[in-house]
Amino acid sequence: MTVALDTDIKRLSGVGSAVGARLQKLGITTVGSLLYHFPRAYEFRGNIKTVASAEDGETASFVLTVTAPPTYAKTRSGLMIFKVPAGDGTGVCTVTFFNQAYIKNTLIAGVSYRFYGKVSRHGKHVELHSPVYEPYSETLLPLYPVYPATEGFSSVRINKLVSAIIDRADTVIPENLPAEVIEAERLMSRTEAIRTIHHPSSLEAIADAKRRLAFEELFGFALNARRQRKTEDGLPRAPFHKCDCSAFKNAVGFEFTNAQKRVMNEIYADLTSEDGRAPMRRMVSGDVGSGKTVCAQFAAYVAAENGYQTALMAPTEILARQHYEDCKKLFSALGKTVCLLVSDIPAKKKNEVFECLASGECDLVIGTHALITDKVNFKNLGLVVCDEQHRFGVGQREALLKKGEGSHMLVMSATPIPRTLALVLFGDLDVSVIDEMPPGRRTVRTAYRDEESRDKIYDFIKAQVKEGRQAYIVCPGIEETEDDGLIPLEALSADFSPDSYNKQVKKRKAAVNYAETLSTEVFPDLRVGYLHGKMKGVQKSAVMKAFERGELDILVSTTVIEVGINVPNASVMLVEDADCFGLSQLHQLRGRVGRGKYASYCILMANDPGQNAVSRLKIMERENNGYKIAEFDLKQRGPGDFIRDNGEKIRQHGALKLRMAGALDDAQLLYRAFEWAEKYTSEDGNAARIFN
Ligand code: ADP
Ligand code: MG
């Protein structure tokens, strides 16, 4: 039976309007979106433990033979408790259930079952509480899917719906990749991949399914981006002519770096191109402090010389004000008018700005999303600049672009990402890279240290605080989680080992718990705060402000501090379990210190990492160029980290959600997906190769 993916989910048997509404909350509206609602994790039921080795509190699988019929008793609160005696030869175990009278008929003495559940152990006495169970056979699947679920619709029920479709032997899901691509890339068919991702038969199979589904995502994503680009080719463009830029060059107080010159040349060529090409759509990517602003200012200057206005949109009011001060200095020397538009300026002042924009008197306006409100009208907007582009949705950008006709666009991104990768991930933008820092930058001294140095490092932090500095301590997790036995989809690969995974995850430091330990045991005299992504917005900003004002000495945090914090007084960063992070991410994190006039340090700690991890971390000691680090990361770990870290940004460019691709460890696969997409969008059908 061929599955019609666009079938309304409510037409499935068992799905009425109430269930339909719950599913919609999960983004499931059609059969297709149900099948693409992938498990977030798997219960690893195939990892069978023995009763003798069962540990208190763990969640695990056991193959047990029921030794006698269940006994039952009533608890004081009126619950029926059923106890089933069972064993596996290494020990005996009591399996308990509450109020489930039917187990008398489903758990038969003398039969073996695979149980999966939570262990409680007191000495020799082992119990399993309300485990799931299935009659044991060699062919039981080792991995059981766990879905993102919602209140009123559990993972188990999602699994039932999915199973009803994919468990039919004759189910066929229409293929959406060209046959030659499947063959050349040795990919699973779509049907097999969907089946496998929901009901994997082995770790190898799941790795293959992920590969196929990641390829499919990337291919679709690339096709979209290519097509979008093609439709823009017909757009009108604000015509900019070549102009004399020497006044601009002289007004800027420094020599441009070679990278800046190159990028400005690229921008200039885009802006003044007269051959009927689409308006400029360019991303300038450069490390924090690499000098992107002057490139944007240059573009605004070219626009103004052509009689066009520029709007620069910054994600926060603070950033907008900073840009405004900067630009006002430069542009008033050049005889241009600069305005600021943020939400909390007085209404009267705002109206003046509106008038200034409508009359054309203002050459450059800098603001937050206050810029996209209806009241803002331009005389002739010719250029839109978005700083820190990932904070804006594509809708916001488009809204601003629409205020002009054929406006050019420049987006500035502070995430160093290899050019090759940026080209494919931001397929609808051209990419310029500033991979060089202005001279005289202080670097953050970085060192890898192991557990033996812990006390010394704590002392070092104390000494820095004593001198008036502040410190960041970064942890990979938020709270120590109970071992739920789940293996996230992302972590699974063909060579996955549950034991080493558990070991690795369990030892990780968690911000909340660690902050507690630090403030009571390690730094009792210091002011320690914590910050993580699950905190409410107001809570978060209260903590950030306290740290900014110097009311906290130490900020324990997850990676949320990557963006948005600027505390020049912070001089040390300690990263715990540094081996859990990608190098690019470490580099981004480290950019939070060394922003003031103080010598700054970044210490990367790892608890018993492998030799590979150590040599990876040591790269951070000697390399400061974000692009070189990113290249290395890409080679070693593949593009998954970048795709995940840039998820928001990428999602804005294509309608697709890159889910599988975030787990991708093979850069070549990514490039090939894009090559194929290129081939299928080029008019003549011939491969126009963009990569060699
Ligand atoms: P970012 O890329 O993070 O936006 P900015 O454009 O804000 O960086 O530049 C950071 C600082 O470096 C600014 O104070 C800027 O004036 C200065 N700067 C930029 N380019 C140069 C250069 N070529 N030489 C010296 N200083 C520069
Ligand atoms: Mg900047």
Ligand 1 pocket, residue 294 CB under 6 Å: yes
Residue 122 is part of which domain span? 46-135
Answer whether residue 569 is part of any domain: yes
Determine the atom of ligand 1 nearest the C-alpha atom of 292: 2
pLDDT band at 689 (very low <50, low <70, confident <90, very high): very low
Pick the range with the lowest mean pLDDT from 197-206, 219-228, 389-398, 412-421. 389-398
The count of domains in the chain is 4
pLDDT in tens, 190-205: 999 999 999 998 888 9
* Residue 183 placed within a domain: no
Distance 676 CA to ligand 2 centre (A): 35
Q: Is 434 helix (H, G, I), strand (E, B) or coil?
A: strand
517 and 585 housed in the same domain: yes
Q: How many Å lie between the centroid of ligand 2 and the Cα of residue 293? A: 6
For the cut 60, the answer to whether the pLDDT of residue 479 exceeds it is yes
Q: In this structure, is residue 625 part of a structural domain?
A: yes
Inter-residue contact 408 to 435 (CB < 8 Å): no
Instruction: Work out which ligand 1 atom sits closest to the CA atom of 295.
Output: 6
- The last residue of a domain, from among 434, 462, 484: 434
- Testing ligand 1's pocket by substitution, the residue of 263, 290, 329, 437 carrying the most ligand atoms inside 8 A of its CB is 290
Same domain? For 170 and 113 the reply is no
Structure confidence at residue 690 (pLDDT): 31
Cβ atoms of 224 and 655 within 8 Å: the answer is: yes
Nearest-atom index, ligand 1, CA of 293? 6
Same domain, residue pair 358 and 504: no
Specify if 355 maps to a domain: yes
Give the confidence band of 502 by pLDDT, cuts at 50, 70, 90. low
Domain match, 168 and 120 both: no
The residue to mutate among 261, 285, 294, 326, having the most atoms of ligand 1 within 8 angstroms of its beta carbon, is 294
From residue 419, alpha-carbon distances to 261, 271, 424, 630 in Å are 17, 21, 9, 10
- Residue at 371 is within a domain: yes
Nearest CA to ligand 1 atom 22: 438
Instruction: Specify whether 429 is located in the same domain as 310.
Output: yes
Strands 570-575 and 601-606, sheet pairing: parallel
- Cα–Cα distance measured from residue 360 to residue 306, given in angstroms and rounded to the nearest whole number: 12
What's the CA gap between 98 and 402, in Å, rounded?
A: 62
Give the distance (Å) from ligand 2 centre to CA of residue 386. 10
Distance 366 CA to ligand 1 centre (A): 18
Question: Contact, 629 vs 416, CB < 8 A?
Answer: yes
- 599, two tokens: 């010598």
Sign of CA dihedral 500, 502, 503, 504: positive
How far is the CA of 507 from the CAs of 57, 472, 484, 577, 606, in angstroms? 16, 20, 15, 9, 10
Mean pLDDT of the chain: 88
User: What percent of the chain lies above the pLDDT cut of 90?
Assistant: 55
Residues 68, 92 contacting (CB under 8 angstroms): no
CA of 292 to the centre of ligand 2 (A): 6
Determine the residue type at 597: K
Going from the Cα of 438 to the center of ligand 1, the distance in angstroms, rounded, reads 7
273 shares its domain with 366: yes
Residues 276 and 420 in one domain: yes
Tokens of residue 629, six digits: 């680090």
HSE value, Cβ hemisphere, 13 Å, CA-based, for 257: 20
Residue from 44, 39, 149 nearest 483 by CA:
44
Does one domain contain both 510 and 366? no
Residue type, 417: I
Question: What is the distance between the alpha carbons of residues 318 and 367, in angstroms, rounded to a whole number?
Answer: 10
Q: Are residues 316 and 370 in the same domain?
A: yes
Question: Ligand 1 in contact with 639 (CB < 6 A)?
Answer: no
Atom of ligand 1 nearest to the CA of 440: 25
Residue 666 within a domain:
no
Residue pair 143/122 in contact (Cβ under 8 Å)? The answer is: no
Same domain, 276 and 401: yes
Residue bearing the bigger pLDDT, 301 or 233: 301
Residue 527 has pLDDT above 80, yes or no: yes
30 and 170 housed in the same domain: yes
Instruction: Please indicate whether residue 257, judged by its CB atom, sits closer than 6 Å to ligand 1.
Output: yes
Classify strands 125-135 and 112-122 as parallel, antiparallel or unpaired. Answer: antiparallel
For the segment 556-613, what is each residue's pLDDT rounded down to a tens digit? 998 877 556 778 999 999 999 998 888 988 998 998 898 888 999 999 999 878 888 8
Q: Is the CB of 290 under 6 A from ligand 1?
A: yes
Summarize pLDDT for 230-248 with one digit per residue, the tens. 766 677 889 999 999 999 9
Q: Is residue 449 part of a domain?
A: yes
Q: Given a cut of 70, is residue 108 above it in pLDDT?
A: yes
Residues 18 and 58 in one domain: no
Assign residue 116 the CATH number of its domain.
2.40.50.140
Domain stop point among 392, 410, 434: 434
